[in-house]
Structure 1
Amino acid sequence: MANVSGIVKSARKIMRQDTGTGSDELRILQLGWMLFLKIFSDKDKELELMDDHYTSPIPSELHWDEWAGDDEGMTGDELLQFVDRKLFPTLSEIDLSSGSRRAVLVHEVFANNYNYMKSGIHLRQVINKLNEIDFNNSKDLHLFGQIYETFLSELQSAGTLGEFYTPRAVTQFMTEMVNPEHGETVLDPACGTGGFLTAVIEHLKATASSVQQREAIAKNVRGWEYKPLPYMLANTNLVLHDITTPDIQFGDSLQRPLSEYTHKDQVDVIIANPPFGGVVSNNNENNFPQTYRTKESADLFLILMIHLLKDGGRAAIVLPDGSLTGDGVKQRVRQKLLEDCNVHTIIRLPNSVFKPYATVATNLIFFTKGEPTKRIWYYQLLCPPGVKAYSKTKRIQSDDFDDVRDWWDNRVESDYSWSASIDEIIRRDFDLDIKNPARLKVDNDKNAKDYIETINDDLSEISSEVKEIFNSYFRLSEFKVVELGSICSIEKGQTGIKKAVPGSYPMVTTGEERGSHTEYQFDCEAVCIPLVSSTGHGHASIKRIHYQSGKFALGSILAAATPIDCASVSAKYLYFYLNNFKDDVVVPLMKGMANVTLSIGNLKKVKVILPPIEEQEQLVMLMDKCEKLRNTLAKSMADSEEMIRAVLGEILDLDVIHNA
């Protein structure tokens, strides 16, 4: 048996030397497509031997063994050109006429991903390392599955990908409490990297008593994911869990009108951590009944999941505190949940469970559809003794839920558990943010020492983020200088700011905040550039340039630059480039004496440094990390102010003055 852990460590060490995979994030993504193809290709050959009617969708010369299996085979520029110019283009345009689900899977993975490595020599070295793992050996496969899980856990702190990973301890606990049974259909409509799906698969495997039950697992466990990178990682994850053809649909769950989901779409169990803190794009809120329309993704997903459950179906979902309270649409969503379903349990998690990706307060909500709620039980989960807060190095563990497990079937009120009747909840206008009536201070008021420890945590996080930026730094392999008008269509806004009628579409103006309008002008990704100086009086200046996606209106004193070919130009890259270098490349083209303006003609002449699309995407990831660091620094400044006040307040007790 191979030393799987050592092989993977060696592969990652090689990737660190490559300019294209300098960050954990990019190494995970690079390893993702390589592992997917190797495992998929090996399985296809096995299927062809076992089934005379099966034909692999992968052309014979592109099977892993044909071009990568020989350790002395292609390397250097020859290998790099083969992967970039032959492998990816061919597999992304694979023939789908057969209707094969496996063909669709290959197409979707390679049409939406890249080869990030820049050195063909490094690429060959990584390939040779992966060839040392025998994925047809069950022990090797099992060991690698465990290692792959640690890769996915790194997403929680890997730049912009943290939203796609739920800690394994959380997925296991939720699956255990919902207890999916054989023959039941299970769905995660926002499956990310497949954490809930694999938890369900392992749960069902442990109780399977026949070959038929094991084979049925693949058909009954389903996922939906709308972003290509987690979609690829999820499929690889399920293949590593012995699912030959994962049933994961590629697409946005919210993009389809709710009325189009019929009885055949309903399932027995839903386990999910739907995106929260986000705003839906493309006016997907209009796919829902008027009374529940909102831009907040978590609330729309909750309505969708209620609709997708069969009567008697069970659900366990992660929801932020913001979904438990609030009026208007939020209140109506909660009312529907309580009237259509029996919400029997809410587990309140420490704020730090999803740190460092997110620090918002979250809850695990358990409910059954088909009967109204009569009483909700609450349980406040605390960090274990000696752990003040979860972090990148102190993640939540399965054992941390042991007290909840003991309480689950024998519910009594305690310092950490309480309940509320539906009558009380109705009096609160369906507000579910109910505090423990025992008034236990789970999070004591912070004293000076607490703030000092918080600052110390901030500094640790800042150090980690600086390291990530350092590791992600790279230099362009090549670039060209082009004019903005040659790579973008540029169109002036049509909506007068004062004439805008508040509506459902965001409206981009020169201000930092978005307005709204009843009509939209664009439906795309675009960079929005002011055409009028922000200071006037003969002085040329631009305060900010905006990035906007989806359907939106645009103020008449701005212009939108939209990439002509999204396969070669990233709108997000253009945003970072133009916004940060506006004083160098945009402002000098503004003309006028009193009223300084930027003409469309001059805007088209703006010079743009344009690297290959892969490096544009890499630079966007790096800039996202930089912005994350900036936000952490701002938080640290705020914490420092509170610390100063707390220290002074404790040393110089003002009660002395009041009592004098």
Structure 2
Amino acid sequence: MNILWSGGVANHSTIIEQINYLVFLRSLSKKDDHAMRIDPEAERVFQGELSQYHWDNLLVLNAEVLFSTLEDIYRRLPELTTDKTIQLLYRDAHVKVFDKPTLRRLVHEIEQLMSDLEKEATTGRNDIFGDMYEYLLSKLAQAGTLGSFRTPRHIINFIVDVIDPDKGETILDPACGTAGFLVAALEHLKEKYSSEEFKKENKHPLDLLSPDERKFLFQHTFTGFDSDFDMFKFGLMNLYLHQLEHPNIKRINTLVDTAGDRTKWDIILANPPFAGAVDQSSISEDLQMGTRATEILFLRYMIDHLSPTGRTGVIVPEGIIFSNTNAHKKIRQLLIETAGLWAVVSLPAGVFNPYSGVKTSILFFDKSIARNIESILFAKVSHDGFDLGASKRLVDKDDLPNALNALLKYHSGLRNKASNAAEAIYILGAEIAHLIPKHKISETGDYNLSGDHYLLSSEYSDAKWPMVSIEELCDLGRGRVINKQDIAKNPGAFPVYSSQTTDDGIFGYLGSYDFDGEYVTWTTDGANAGTVFYRTGKFNCTNVCGTLKAKTKKINMRFLAQALNRIAYKHVIHAGNPKLMNNVMAKITVPLPPLEIQDQIVKELRGYQEIIDGATQIVANWKCKIEIDTTWERVKLKDVCNINPKKIEIKNINPETEVSFVPMADLNQNNANFVIKQTKKLSEVIGSYTYFTENDVLLARVTPCFENGKAGIARKLKNKIGFGSSEYIVIRPSEKILPEIIYCYISEQRFNAAGKIKMTGTGGLQRVPVDFVQNWEISLPPLEVQRQIVDQIDIERTLVDGNKKLIEIYKRKIIDVLSAI
């Protein structure tokens, strides 16, 4: 929002207020447009005397006329409309951007911003106002003010999906901000209670609800509180545009203004402010806990105002998890003994970047099952589908889908008084999920909610073999400082192991060695702390590696490495730089079967691992490859393909025609096939998205998708027409070339490497130029040869898929063997 600052508007609240008014004005206009497409006789906001104020009319006005027109709108809109929400929002509204050219630039920048956000909103769960506020935060550099920053949409959706709202339930967000949680809950209910035939057309009419149930949903289900007037307006506007035209959003301070209120809700969803502190004398008497910390007070409010069968999903800072103040201990005790806490999900520290690096967790509690809970499920989400730096780029690793599945299984078991615990752990994997008995959490009196705190020997607590500490079995040591200069001065054949996990942890090779024999090593410091390796022969270790050398003949070191790999990481201390030092490692206990049993286990596991290693190598190394015949004609792609075909081809197609929609997330890496998950009307996508048709090849041109090999062949399209991300390059084969051949050529490493060099753009967002693709040279086989190549590729791909399945099976076998001991 540099244009506002340069135009003399520097106040944070004024900036948000002015943008609020303009964005909502645009959104009301777009809402009218949508209503007109469905029913030309539909009632609209901008009709009659107000029709001249439609957003599209504002875009063509010069600066002078625009200023006076907006003043007229803000004055006349609350007078002429009958909609009470619009009257409230524009009451006493005035234009406060007095530099008229700046105002005009602002209007056009908002048009561009909102258009871009609408293009990106390719799922059915859109929160445009939330996205816009996130953009404002990034520009205003005030994201941490009063502990306020926007909750990422994918985290909101995860929490809502775990809670799974139902018809007839009431839902509260006591710190609602832009109403992102309430919008997500509404979208969840629309998905849940709309027929499949409607959803196929991307419609969600809630036809599975009765008229009374729909009335309850729109009039009584959703409530939100926020003390900030700008956020109050954001929330009202956001819900209004999601069909809640008279939302129950109140401008009140939950911690101050609710004394004596006994209202209870069935569901509470929240990410309350973390960094704030309320004046002690202002805090509602009902919430007094001897603290001014807002996160504790909000939790107390939620516990008190949850119905006897109610459930909550709330994001909390790490202080709630383990801080030792009396107030922190008391709120944790209430969560465990009163609220029905059943799961704690640890989120990675970068989830809220770039606005905050605060480490957070999600607490799930359900009063209806409080008596059934014997153990609390702790889960670690290390990857949320996005890079954890400031850029927030999409990445391949995402633990949230498995975590959602496991949490739903476990919660369902608790509600039905059945044990789904083992299934939940199986889904997530024992390395990132575990159960801690509730009595174990309560017995110390501090009610610590850090799952790692209780993990000593938890993997093997029911083992039939004696538990023995590492210091009883091994001598502990450590490597030394070795740097690249040392390796350059003394090169040789003896590996130097460091903290990295790639290349078996090899940092380089020296001409001398420090260790000789059979050892177990582990990473002591950094992101890979707790990673365990079996080592043998002559080698070296850097100072971030600990070493274990057997001092008894009772232990098979390969067995020890396997056992420690299951539990060592759980003893890592995450205060600052993660560490697993020798003193902690020494106290870890492992089961000690007789040596012959250890040998049998190791033999069995080595056999499984060899199968996994072989299958992994096949999967990792396979690429569809064309053996070039030098007699084949050399051509440029543009000579045998149509690059980015024009939409004019479909100008006569009915705008209501259903077409396939393929967002970037649905395109796979190094796999030509992808599943069509969405359809949209042609009119919804033709303006802003990339057009393609059956058998076109899609290539992601933007970082990091291009480097990661995102590409595919469009098949089984609805009405043989598709649209997708604006970051696709579409390559349409002519009759001279098959799409599979194109895909193979653009999947080659040399194409990828050359494309990266040619990328243009600044910062984190770079793109491959279209002319690079157009002018890429390939060898063109005769069509008959192309068909033979494709047949061979299909055979190979079937074998690769079989190896992927083999890897899954034998990884599970290893887990089962270790669990059995």
How much has 1:444 moved relative to structure 2? 9.5
How much has 1:307 moved relative to structure 2? 1.8
Contact 2:255 2:287 in 1 (8 A): no
How much has 1:194 moved relative to structure 2? 1.5
Contact 2:313 2:362 in 1 (8 A): yes
Distance change (3 Å), C-alpha of 1:139 and 1:207: farther
Q: Which residue, out of 310, 321, 324, partners 1:326?
A: 324
Contact 2:183 2:242 in 1 (8 A): yes
What are structure 1's unaligned runs of at least 5 residues? 1-11, 449-660
| TM-score computed with the length of structure 1 as normaliser | 0.53
1:393: which partner in 2? 392
Aligned residues: 419
1:617: which partner in 2? none
Residues of 2 paired with 1:301 and 1:334: CA distance?
Answer: 13
Distance change (3 Å), C-alpha of 1:88 and 1:432: farther
Equivalent residue of 2:401, what SS?
helix
Listed as ranges, the matches of 1:509-520 within 5 Å are: none
Q: Which residue, out of 75, 78, 103, partners 1:123?
A: 103
Q: Deviations over 1:199-242 (max 9, x none)?
A: 11111111123444555432212222221222222223223323
Contact 2:344 2:378 in 1 (8 A): yes
Distance change (3 Å), C-alpha of 1:159 and 1:184: same
Residues of 2 paired with 1:385 and 1:124: CA distance?
Answer: 38
- The yes-or-no answer on 1:403 pairing with 2:402 is yes
Contact 2:29 2:55 in 1 (8 A): no
Contact 2:345 2:381 in 1 (8 A): yes
Distance change (3 Å), C-alpha of 1:429 and 1:183: same
Residues of 2 paired with 1:236 and 1:55: CA distance?
Answer: 16
Contact 2:172 2:223 in 1 (8 A): yes
1:462: which partner in 2? none
What are structure 2's unaligned runs of at least 5 residues? 195-205, 410-422, 457-569, 580-821
Distance change (3 Å), C-alpha of 1:286 and 1:194: closer
- The yes-or-no answer on 1:421 pairing with 2:552 is no
Q: Which has the higher contact order (CA 8 A, sep 6+)?
A: 1
Q: Which residue, out of 134, 142, 149, partners 1:153?
A: 134
Residues of 2 paired with 1:203 and 1:156: CA distance?
Answer: 26
Distance change (3 Å), C-alpha of 1:68 and 1:385: closer
1:376: which partner in 2? 376
Equivalent residue of 2:268, what SS?
strand
Distance change (3 Å), C-alpha of 1:70 and 1:416: closer
Deviates more, 1:158-167 or 1:19-28: 19-28
Residues of 1 paired with 2:162 and 2:53: CA distance?
Answer: 46
2:242: which partner in 1? 241
Residues of 2 paired with 1:385 and 1:77: CA distance?
Answer: 47
Equivalent residue of 1:303, what SS?
helix
Contact 1:108 1:228 in 2 (8 A): no
How much has 1:83 moved relative to structure 2? 4.1
Paired residue type of 1:441 = V
How much has 1:302 moved relative to structure 2? 0.8
1:65: which partner in 2? 52
Residues of 2 paired with 1:35 and 1:106: CA distance?
Answer: 16
Q: Which residue, out of 447, 471, 475, partners 1:431?
A: 447
How much has 1:174 moved relative to structure 2? 0.3
Contact 2:280 2:292 in 1 (8 A): no
Q: Deviations over 1:333-369 (max 9, x none)?
A: 2222222221000001122211232222211000012
How much has 1:427 moved relative to structure 2? 2.1
Q: Which residue, out of 279, 291, 295, partners 1:294?
A: 291
Q: Which residue, out of 321, 335, 338, partners 1:337?
A: 335
Equivalent residue of 1:181, what SS?
coil
Distance change (3 Å), C-alpha of 1:445 and 1:23: same
Residues of 1 paired with 2:127 and 2:273: CA distance?
Answer: 25
Deviates more, 1:399-408 or 1:211-220: 211-220
1:533: which partner in 2? none
Residues of 1 paired with 2:231 and 2:439: CA distance?
Answer: 42
- The yes-or-no answer on 1:274 pairing with 2:262 is no
Residues of 2 paired with 1:441 and 1:114: CA distance?
Answer: 56
Listed as ranges, the matches of 1:28-43 within 5 Å are: 30-40=18-28
Q: Which residue, out of 187, 206, 215, partners 2:172?
A: 187
Contact 1:258 1:288 in 2 (8 A): yes
Residues of 1 paired with 2:276 and 2:128: CA distance?
Answer: 30
- The yes-or-no answer on 1:80 pairing with 2:80 is no
- The yes-or-no answer on 1:226 pairing with 2:227 is yes
1:250: which partner in 2? 251
Contact 2:255 2:284 in 1 (8 A): no
- The yes-or-no answer on 1:308 pairing with 2:305 is yes
| TM-score computed with the length of structure 2 as normaliser | 0.44
Q: Deviations over 1:147-198 (max 9, x none)?
A: 5553233355342245241011110100011100122111111111111111
Paired residue type of 1:425 = I
Distance change (3 Å), C-alpha of 1:46 and 1:146: closer
RMSD: 4.7
Contact 1:190 1:225 in 2 (8 A): yes
2:281: which partner in 1? 283
2:359: which partner in 1? 361
Kindly name which structure, 1 or 2, has the bigger radius of gyration based on alpha carbons. Answer: 2
Residues of 2 paired with 1:141 and 1:181: CA distance?
Answer: 25
How much has 1:134 moved relative to structure 2? 13
Deviates more, 1:124-133 or 1:181-190: 124-133
How much has 1:326 moved relative to structure 2? 2.3
Contact 1:348 1:379 in 2 (8 A): yes
1:107: which partner in 2? 88
Q: How many percent identity over aligned positions?
A: 22
Contact 2:129 2:178 in 1 (8 A): no
Paired residue type of 2:186 = I
Q: Deviations over 1:49-84 (max 9, x none)?
A: x9x9x998x9986x4734866459864345435645
Paired residue type of 1:311 = P
Equivalent residue of 2:255, what SS?
helix
Contact 1:343 1:365 in 2 (8 A): yes
Distance change (3 Å), C-alpha of 1:190 and 1:175: same
Residues of 1 paired with 2:299 and 2:27: CA distance?
Answer: 35
Residues of 2 paired with 1:341 and 1:38: CA distance?
Answer: 43
Deviates more, 1:395-404 or 1:350-359: 395-404
Residues of 1 paired with 2:575 and 2:35: CA distance?
Answer: 59
Deviates more, 1:180-189 or 1:73-82: 73-82
Contact 1:271 1:315 in 2 (8 A): yes
Residues of 1 paired with 2:318 and 2:130: CA distance?
Answer: 28
Contact 2:311 2:366 in 1 (8 A): yes
Deviates more, 1:194-203 or 1:139-148: 139-148
Residues of 1 paired with 2:354 and 2:120: CA distance?
Answer: 32
Listed as ranges, the matches of 1:444-459 within 5 Å are: 446=577
Listed as ranges, the matches of 1:448-597 within 5 Å are: none
Residues of 1 paired with 2:448 and 2:171: CA distance?
Answer: 27
Paired residue type of 1:251 = I
Q: Which residue, out of 188, 193, 201, partners 1:203?
A: 188
Paired residue type of 1:338 = I
1:350: which partner in 2? 348
